[in-house]
């Protein structure tokens, strides 16, 4: 089995309706096409083989000099239906498989030659792909209905949501007749120049900025995903993670579904395409009721926008409105309300858990496709992910983090001279702590804002180096002082140890670390970037052992009760705290079940 990762294939793609658009209900025996969406730079494409389970006495450990191709001795190279494959040698000298478009099929305006795919393993990277046992984080979605410059508005919305993912981004637009889609690897501002946005006409748009959850960190799985189905052309952008995708995908493939990507987001579209419901709205409602897990989605057809949240409300999604330049009312959806501020839109309300909202030329309509499930909103949105100027799950993030700091000071106060935040996500909690403890607040660590957030970068090797790139101590504020460091979480502990060493190296006489959430002891299956349990330091060590590892003079976490109190949790505003307790709100799913799905060549 093999899955393909198209990482910045050199070329240009126009994904307006072309012969390579694939029907969700097509005959699986038909040869498939490859949709290439590319950045305008020179880079390489890779194929990754999933290493077989069990002992591999004949398989050397991976090294840059001698990559293992995932086969046991004397195993044949993978082959089979779909695109034509040839065994060739890449210019790097590594064994690889070349992939050629099937005969008789083509994609309009795809300027890319046949390409060779070097073989690596799941546990290596695009020169060290990423840790194979990691789950991956958050995404941001936005939707615009009835605006003459919908693509530009989607661009601004994604720009405000860039903190939710920096691997890829995409925008799809519709003008009532056609649907265009452009996506690429990188930051929103790098992909969508004025010239690119000019190729996205229409008064409707959806957009997505991504860090991979299920599926690979690759251009192939960048969103929005567009599928031609029996219900028409549909584009979808999804934030979250489905936990029953294995069974659903197998069932859909038996029914003749052909998957264009390895992302779980496409499963929702395939369910819509295969639904027996008579209308598209009924088909969407029927499909959403079959999936389990976390999802906030925006979808678009040629003339309508849809927005929905899962029945437990894991992920945020808000609705706003604004007046367009032509005087018409524009409806906006976004993962966080901070996007509305940049768009000058008015916050209307959150999309409710289990709610499906449809926006058309006739106005806004809503239906509850599922009800009665206890709310399980992700509390880590308030701890870390969301911007402090966003209103999430009915509460300002700034207020929650301030209360986390105050409660932390009440629970684990210590004598010190200054309170110093680990920027940026620790700043608000540190302000609350300092005010509650009546200890001076100082910005003793300065962040380089041109470096991405450590927690959602793909490689551990990059992550370690990023600490030194990102933070620099202010020596005159730290030297000779007892310092309380405030951070939002400890995942592996490696970053915290480097920061403690940095502060102590700047002359601090004592370093006390305070964490504004409980110890993270379990991985998340609902779209959060936490590694496997064996890599979570709090799952395997006591607080005293963690303190010793990070070399702090003292260490304390906010209690779970204190966190829930800070976030104003109640019967109507329940939170998922599985990462702190190991008690999951859905059926238990082994991590292997939600690793990237494979596609046979």
For residues 338-350, average pLDDT: 97
Query: Would the pLDDT of 61 be above 90?
Result: no
Which position has the higher pLDDT, 265 or 465? 265
In angstroms, what CA-CA distances link 584 with 237, 240, 378, 411, 523?
Answer: 25, 15, 12, 27, 10
Q: What is the pLDDT of residue 459?
A: 53
Q: What is the pLDDT of residue 452?
A: 53
Query: In the chain, what percentage of residues exceed pLDDT 70?
Result: 70
CA 234/CA 273 separation, integer angstroms: 9
Query: Would the pLDDT of 36 be above 50?
Result: no
For residues 413-427, average pLDDT: 95
Q: Is the dihedral of CA 379, 384, 386, 392 positive or negative?
A: positive
For residues 147-159, average pLDDT: 97
Active-site residue (options: 20, 107, 139, 567)? 139
Query: Would the pLDDT of 160 be above 60?
Result: yes
* Weakest-pLDDT range from 196-210, 302-316, 490-504, 521-535: 521-535
- Pick from 223, 243, 364: nearest CA to 314: 243
Which position has the higher pLDDT, 336 or 572? 336
Query: Would the pLDDT of 252 be above 60?
Result: yes
Which position has the higher pLDDT, 213 or 14? 213
Give 129's pLDDT tier (boundaries 50, 70, 90). very low
In angstroms, what CA-CA distances link 544 with 420, 496, 516, 549, 555?
Answer: 22, 14, 17, 9, 8
Active site residue 139: yes
Q: What is the pLDDT of residue 118?
A: 29
Which stretch, 250-259, 412-421, 527-536, has highest mean pLDDT? 412-421
Q: What is the pLDDT of residue 465?
A: 63
Mean of pLDDT over the chain: 76
Q: Helices 245-254 and 265-274, interaxial angle, to 10°? A: 40
Tell me the whole-structure pTM to 2 decimals.
0.74
- Pick from 413, 416, 384, 414: nearest CA to 401: 384
Give 217's pLDDT tier (boundaries 50, 70, 90). low
Which stretch, 56-65, 126-135, 417-426, has highest mean pLDDT? 417-426
CA 442/CA 437 separation, integer angstroms: 14
Give 95's pLDDT tier (boundaries 50, 70, 90). very low
Task: List every span in the chain annotated with CATH 3.40.50.2020.
Answer: 396-581
In this structure, what token pair is assigned to residue 252? Answer: 């859909």
Give 227's pLDDT tier (boundaries 50, 70, 90). confident
Give 408's pLDDT tier (boundaries 50, 70, 90). very high
Task: List every span in the chain annotated with CATH 3.60.20.10.
Answer: 139-373
Q: What's the CA dihedral at 191, 391, 385, 437 to 10 degrees?
A: 140
Q: Which CATH architecture has domain 396-581?
A: 3-Layer(aba) Sandwich (3.40)
CA 245/CA 580 separation, integer angstroms: 24
Strand pairing class (510-515; 482-487): parallel
Name every residue whose Cβ is closer than 8 Å to that of residue 128 and which is 6 or more positions away in sequence. Answer: 459, 461
Q: What is the pLDDT of residue 462?
A: 53
Reported as a single tens digit per residue, the pLDDT across 444-466 is 999 987 765 444 554 555 555 66
Which position has the higher pLDDT, 26 or 211? 211
- Tell me, what DSSP letter sits at residue 521? -
Q: What is the pLDDT of residue 222?
A: 87
Reported as a single tens digit per residue, the pLDDT across 505-532 is 999 999 999 999 999 999 888 877 677 8
* Weakest-pLDDT range from 26-30, 348-352, 481-485: 26-30
Q: What is the pLDDT of residue 356?
A: 98
Which position has the higher pLDDT, 526 or 86? 526
Query: Would the pLDDT of 88 be above 60?
Result: no
In angstroms, what CA-CA distances link 57 with 72, 73, 119, 251, 460?
Answer: 9, 10, 20, 35, 27
Q: Could you give the strand order of the β-sheet that contains 139-145, starting from the edge strand earlier in sequence?
A: 179-185, 168-174, 204-210, 139-145, 329-334, 318-323, 346-350
Could you give the 3-state DSSP secondary structure of residue 299? Answer: strand
Which of the listed CATH numbers 2.40.50.180, 3.60.20.10, 3.40.50.720, 3.90.1150.10 matches domain 139-373?
A: 3.60.20.10
Query: In the chain, what is the straight-line distance between the N-terminal and C-terminal CA atoms, in Å?
Result: 7
Query: Would the pLDDT of 39 be above 70?
Result: no
């Amino acid at each position: 089995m093999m899955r393909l990762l198209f990482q910045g294939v050199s070329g240009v793609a126009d994904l307006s309706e072309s012969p390579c658009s694939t029907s969700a209900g097509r005959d699986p025996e038909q040869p498939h096409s490859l949709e290439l969406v590319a950045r305008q730079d020179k880079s390489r494409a890779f194929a990754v083989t999933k290493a077989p389970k069990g002992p591999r006495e004949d398989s050397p450990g991976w090294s840059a000099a001698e990559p293992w191709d995932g086969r046991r001795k004397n195993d044949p190279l993978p082959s089979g239906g779909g695109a034509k494959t040839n065994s060739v040698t890449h210019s790097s000298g590594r064994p690889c498989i070349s992939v050629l478009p099937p005969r008789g099929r083509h994609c309009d305006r795809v300027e890319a030659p046949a390409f060779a795919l070097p073989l690596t393993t799941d546990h290596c990277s695009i020169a060290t792909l990423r840790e194979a046992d990691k789950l991956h984080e958050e995404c941001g979605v936005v939707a615009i209905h009835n605006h003459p410059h919908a693509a530009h508005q989607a661009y601004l919305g994604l720009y405000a949501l860039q903190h939710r993912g920096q691997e890829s981004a995409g925008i799809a637009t519709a003008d009532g007749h056609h649907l265009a889609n452009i996506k690429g690897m990188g930051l929103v501002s790098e992909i969508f120049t004025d010239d690119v946005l000019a190729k996205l006409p229409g008064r409707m748009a959806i957009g997505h900025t991504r860090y991979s959850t299920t599926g690979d960190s690759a251009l192939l799985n960048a969103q929005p995903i567009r599928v031609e189905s029996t219900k028409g052309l549909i584009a979808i952008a999804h934030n979250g993670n489905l936990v029953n995708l294995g069974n659903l995908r197998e069932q859909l493939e038996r029914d003749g579904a052909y998957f264009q990507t390895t992302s779980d987001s496409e499963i929702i579209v395939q369910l819509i395409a295969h639904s027996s419901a008579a209308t598209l709205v009924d088909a969407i409602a029927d499909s959403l009721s079959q999936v389990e897990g976390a999802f906030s989605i925006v979808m678009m057809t040629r003339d309508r926008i849809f927005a929905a949240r899962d029945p437990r409300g894991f992920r945020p999604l808000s609705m706003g409105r604004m007046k367009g330049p032509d005087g018409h009312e524009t409806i906006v959806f976004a993962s966080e309300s901070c996007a509305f501020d940049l768009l000058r839109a008015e916050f209307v309300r959150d999309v409710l858990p289990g709610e499906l909202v449809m926006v058309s030329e006739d106005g806004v309509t809503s239906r509850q496709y599922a009800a009665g499930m206890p709310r399980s909103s992700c509390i880590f949105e308030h701890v870390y992910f969301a911007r402090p100027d966003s209103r999430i799950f009915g509460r300002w993030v700034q207020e929650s983090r301030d209360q986390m700091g105050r409660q932390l000071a009440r629970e684990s106060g210590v004598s010190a001279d200054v309170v110093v935040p680990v920027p940026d996500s620790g700043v608000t909690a540190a302000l609350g702590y300092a005010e509650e403890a009546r200890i001076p607040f100082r910005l003793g660590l300065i962040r380089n804002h041109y470096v991405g957030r450590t927690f959602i970068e793909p490689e551990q090797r990059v992550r370690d180096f990023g600490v030194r790139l990102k933070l620099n101590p202010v020596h005159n504020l730290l030297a000779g002082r007892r310092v309380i460091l405030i951070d939002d979480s400890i995942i592996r502990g490696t970053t915290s140890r480097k920061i403690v060493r940095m502060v102590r190296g700047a002359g601090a006489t004592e370093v006390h670390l305070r964490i504004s959430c409980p110890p993270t002891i379990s991985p998340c299956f609902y779209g959060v970037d936490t590694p496997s349990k064996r890599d979570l330091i709090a799952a395997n060590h006591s607080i005293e052992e963690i303190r010793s590892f990070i070399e702090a003079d003292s260490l304390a976490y906010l209690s779970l009760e204190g966190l829930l109190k800070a976030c104003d949790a109640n019967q109507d505003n329940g939170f998922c705290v599985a990462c702190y307790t190991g008690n999951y709100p859905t059926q238990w799913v082994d991590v292997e079940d939600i690793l990237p799905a494979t596609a046979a060549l």
